[in-house]
Amino acid sequence: MSEALFAAEGVARRFGERRVLDGFGLNLARGQGYVLSGDNGSGKSTLLRILAGLETADAGTLRFQGEPTLLPSYPDDWRLHIVYVHQHPYLFHTSVAANIAYGLKARGEAREFSRRKVDEAIDWAGVREVAAVPPQKLSGGEKQRVALARAKVLAPQLLLLDEPTANLDADGRRRIMDLLARLFSEGVTVLIACHDREIIELPGVRRLHLENGKLS
Amino acid sequence: MGLLEPTRQAFALLLRGDPDLLRIIWLSIWLSVTAIILISPPSIALGVFLAKRRFPGQRVLVVLVQALLSFPTVVIGLVIYLLLSRRGPFGSLELLFSPTAIVLGYMVIAFPILVVFTVSAVQGADPRVFETARSLGASGRRAALTTLWEVRFGITAAVVNAFGRVVSEVGCAIMVGGNIDGLTRNMPTAIALETSKGDFAQGIALGLVLMALALGINVAMAFLQGEGGLK
């Protein structure tokens, strides 16, 4: 059986009177791909953002590699291993390569090592042909691929993807699907929040469904 | 009196590089740049702090800084004059009617411009900038610096505006600088003095330099901003 990487217990989040997350539990095994489905507004994005430490919860405990933390506190060093990719990724006003290198630079990696890793990531995401284009001029699909490369280059223990194929054209969607399939085959632990049936039905992926604040 | 002759004389002064004129221009730029360099870092840091942190009294502080924007510079000059005058609390420093006094005045004038523009730029930043930086493992400090970099056009506008305001300021500079020839006489105070004496040529020449400076700065800013600037 695969080793447990990340667990959440009793996570609750309320917006006014509305209870979005109702003390649910979650266990993510190392190397496993997960898809989190649910209606619009069911709290999928909120859950991902809580797991990434970008949003606080009212109650609950998170456990990463055996280390527990009581929400709303979130250890800073977890951010080095848990990477979140936004539904509409923000690319910094710099080059594609510098965007991909951002996290490596934040970790103080050597320049030569970073250059090599960024180069590999550019090829992995298939963005070589747009590497010289200012990121703000890239299409939605290209931005998403650069964002995936920027996350993948960090070799995260847990990758959280929020609706990676939302609002993409057919070609953009197909290319993201290819990258997701490669992530799964490479044994990266991934949790994807999405509506996309094609992702939900990918082979080998475990399906989670969020409804009325509970996971099933 | 016609404008043609003084304007011709003004161009003649500029073209032959009149030493008095050049000294005044140089002093103006030097004092303004010094003040902006000294006051920008703390003002921008305070602007980021006010934009990102929530604390009791924050709103009052922002309103106070905004109110400073509309303070007449001559009142700022008056306050600094009283502080630096012989009987004032800092009279022993003997800074009144010195270039340092003008720099102090310029710093006070530039401070609210820099803070308010920075608050506005940082608050207007896309919230995904900070989140993206944090989720890629950046520390809070690095993420804040990344946000600042992403709104650099707004910050540049703040610095350029502050420079433009102080380099053309006259009330405070006259009060605390005294318009002393060769020591504290800068472009705006010289224009005021020469015009009051009926010597329009130097006033027009300096006015042309000030306008060229304003135009040059704005063109440079538009060039620097590129496609990230005003649409």
pLDDT in tens, chain B (231 residues): 577 888 888 888 888 888 888 999 999 999 999 999 999 999 999 999 999 888 898 889 999 999 999 999 999 999 999 999 999 999 999 999 999 999 999 999 999 999 999 999 999 999 999 999 999 999 998 999 999 999 988 898 899 999 999 999 999 999 999 989 889 999 999 999 888 888 888 889 899 999 998 888 888 777 766 655 544
Domains and CATH numbers, chain A: 30-55+79-211 (3.40.50.300)
Q: Which residues of A touch B146 (CB under 8 A)?
A: 92, 102
A7 three-state secondary structure: strand
Task: Decide: residue B52, CB within 10 A, 0-12 exposed, 13-18 middle, 19+ buried.
Answer: middle
Give me the residues of chain A with pLDDT under 50, please: 1
Tell me if chain B has a CB within 8 Å of the CB of A88.
yes
What are the DSSP calls for A132-185, one per residue?
TS-GGGS-HHHHHHHHHHHHHTT--SEEEEESTTTT--HHHHHHHHHHHHHHHH
DSSP β-bridge partners for residue A68: A63
Structure tokens at B23: 């000294």
Q: Would the CB atoms of A106 and B128 count as touching at under 8 Å?
A: no
Q: Would the CB atoms of B139 and A106 count as touching at under 8 Å?
A: yes
Q: Which residues of A touch B137 (CB under 8 A)?
A: 79-80, 83, 103, 106-107, 154
Q: Would the CB atoms of A88 and B128 count as touching at under 8 Å?
A: yes
Domains and CATH numbers, chain B: 4-224 (1.10.3720.10)
**Do the interacting molecules here have an ipTM over 0.85?**
yes
What's the CA gap between B163 and B161, in Å, rounded?
5
Q: Which residues of A touch B126 (CB under 8 A)?
A: 90
What's the CA gap between A106 and A109, in Å, rounded?
8
Q: Would the CB atoms of A103 and B138 count as touching at under 8 Å?
A: yes
Residue A2, phi then psi, degrees to nearest 5: -75, 150
What are the DSSP calls for A192-205, one per residue?
EE---HHHHT-TTP
Structure tokens at A137: 């001029």
Show which of residues 105-134 on chain A sit within 8 Å of chain B, judged by CB atoms. Answer: 106-107, 134
Q: What is the pLDDT of residue B231?
A: 42
The sign one gets for the Cα dihedral B105, B109, B115, B118 is: negative
Contact residues for B13 (Cβ-Cβ < 8 A; gap 6+):
B21, B201, B202, B205
Structure tokens at B77: 């000059």
Q: What is the pLDDT of residue B230?
A: 47
Q: Is the pTM value of this prediction over 0.90?
A: no
Min Cα–Cα distance to chain A from B151, Å: 9
One-letter amino acid identity for B89? P
What are the DSSP calls for A30-71, one per residue?
TT-EEEEEE-TTSSHHHHHHHHTTSS--SEEEEEETTEEEET
What's the CA gap between A74 and B180, in Å, rounded?
61
Note whether B145 and B74 are within 8 A (CB): no
Chain A residue with minimum CA distance to B146: A92
Residue whose entry in the numeric block shows the structure tokens 């509305």: A18
Q: Would the CB atoms of B137 and A150 count as touching at under 8 Å?
A: no
